[in-house]
């Protein structure tokens, strides 16, 4: 703007030429602008590690929302059954109320026909004979007793019917709230998954290859930890057997057959319950047969599963009923240390208990991991040792 206020210097000037200071300033400005334009996209673009963490977080949040969806769906189903039962009860009571009302109407008609509403003196005077009056009066006394009972019954039924109608109304309101929770949870899952897919779709081929390499490295580390756990468990089992055999031999040498019985009892006390072991084998066999089926949030089989849907179905195949969601499954048994996990145990993950797998031994589990994945067997350390929340042995 200053150039407009100053007069041009006098003298000759070669066309197209500028003073050195102005030329230098112009070139510097162009260079800075060029650098800024080139740097802006890269500065705003997240690193591959940030993308990986964001996607993992989104999948975990989607898993947590899925369990909330499952819980809301279960509440909705139960509430709908309750509402249907209440509505049927209200309909039955309403019919009974109508029947009672008709009975009261018949009593009113009888009073009118017999002149019960006429004063007793007039009824006596109008009667054909005093005996007719007394016969009619005795009949009306009996009729009045029946009428009183009918009125009392009607009032009771009316009160109970109104109460049931209020219960049905409240249950319908609760059902509406459960349905709203269901819609909210479903929307949350869909948004989380859509964001995760969008982030992954923006990766270049090279970034996807690097991400796969990072995932492979994590799997190798998880497999190493699983092998370590398997080794420790094998050592513990060998020590348990050694002690059991020593106790049995000591019993055999000290008291003959009775000692053998004592040794066997000692062995049995330190081994897993046989019936529970058989059920665990059935649960594992079922879960293994589902390997390769897709993860679908909210699914309970038979064509697809989410994590808690799979564990519930596996133990159901073994004759054991588990709750639907992880938050409830975690309380459906006895908590044991990871080092003492046995085949059939449930392994829960994350502080919000949003994931679960079925332990199969040697540090491995079968689980339905996440959307886009399939039921598979892998290390319980697949997301790091710190992600394990607890291990539970179903009752």
Instruction: Give tens-digit pLDDT for 379-395.
Output: 999 999 999 999 999 97
Strand partners, 390: 348
Interacting residues of 84 by C-beta distance below 8 A, sequence separation 6+: none
pLDDT at 158: 73
Note the pTM of the prediction, 2 decimals.
0.63
Separation CA 117–CA 137 (nearest Å): 12
- Which of 93, 192, 279, 355 does the annotation list as catalytic? 355
Least confident of 33-37, 45-49, 101-105, 153-157: 33-37
Separation CA 9–CA 12 (nearest Å): 9
Three-class SS state of 6:
coil
- Which of 51, 307, 330, 366 does the annotation list as catalytic? 307
Any catalytic annotation for residue 4? no
pLDDT at 232: 93
Contact yes or no for 76/307 (Cβ under 8 A) = no
Any catalytic annotation for residue 355? yes
Contact yes or no for 290/376 (Cβ under 8 A) = no
Separation CA 358–CA 83 (nearest Å): 36
Quickly count: other Cβ atoms within 10 Å of residue 109's Cβ.
Answer: 10
pLDDT at 233: 92
Give per-residue pLDDT as tens, 190-216. Answer: 888 888 888 888 888 888 898 889 889
Rounded to 5 degrees, φ, ψ at 381 are -100, 25
Separation CA 326–CA 320 (nearest Å): 16
- Which of 68, 367, 370, 393 does the annotation list as catalytic? 367
């Amino acid at each position: 703007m200053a150039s407009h206020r100053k007069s041009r210097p006098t003298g000759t000037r070669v066309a197209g030429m500028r003073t050195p200071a102005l030329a230098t300033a112009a070139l510097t400005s162009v260079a800075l602008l060029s650098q800024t334009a080139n740097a802006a996209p890269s500065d705003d673009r997240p690193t591959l590690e940030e993308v990986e963490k964001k996607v993992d977080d989104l999948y975990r949040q989607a898993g947590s929302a899925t369990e909330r969806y499952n819980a809301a769906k279960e509440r909705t189903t139960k509430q709908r059954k309750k509402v249907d039962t209440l509505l049927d009860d209200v309909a039955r009571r309403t019919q009974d109320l109508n029947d009672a009302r008709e009975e009261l109407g018949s009593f009113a008609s009888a009073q009118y026909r017999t002149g019960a509403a006429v004063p007793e003196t007039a009824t006596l005077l109008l009667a054909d004979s005093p005996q007719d009056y007394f016969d009619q009066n005795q009949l009306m006394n009996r009729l009045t007793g029946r009428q009183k009972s009918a009125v009392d019954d009607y009032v009771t039924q009316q009160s109970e019917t109104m109460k049931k109608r209020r219960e049905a109304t409240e249950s319908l309101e609760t059902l509406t709230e459960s349905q709203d929770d269901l819609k909210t949870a479903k929307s949350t899952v869909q948004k989380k998954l859509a964001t995760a897919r969008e982030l992954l779709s923006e990766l270049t081929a090279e970034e996807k290859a690097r991400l796969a390499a990072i995932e492979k490295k994590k799997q190798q580390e998880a497999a190493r930890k699983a092998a370590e756990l398997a080794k420790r468990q094998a050592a513990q089992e060998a020590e348990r057997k050694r002690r059991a055999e020593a106790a049995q031999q000591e019993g055999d040498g000290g008291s003959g057959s009775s000692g053998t019985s004592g040794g066997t009892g000692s062995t049995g006390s330190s081994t897993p319950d046989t019936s529970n072991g058989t059920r665990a084998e059935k649960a594992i066999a079922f879960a293994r047969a589902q390997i390769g089926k897709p993860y679908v949030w909210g699914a309970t089989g038979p064509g697809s599963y989410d994590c808690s849907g799979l564990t519930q179905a596996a133990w159901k195949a073994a004759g054991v009923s588990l709750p639907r969601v992880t938050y409830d499954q975690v309380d459906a048994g006895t908590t044991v240390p990871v080092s003492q996990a046995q085949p059939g145990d449930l392994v829960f993950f994350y502080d919000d208990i949003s994931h679960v797998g079925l332990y199969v031994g040697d540090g491995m589990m079968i689980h339905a991991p996440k959307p886009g994945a399939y039921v598979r067997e892998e290390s319980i350390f697949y997301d790091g040792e710190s992600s394990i929340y607890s291990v539970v042995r179903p009752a």
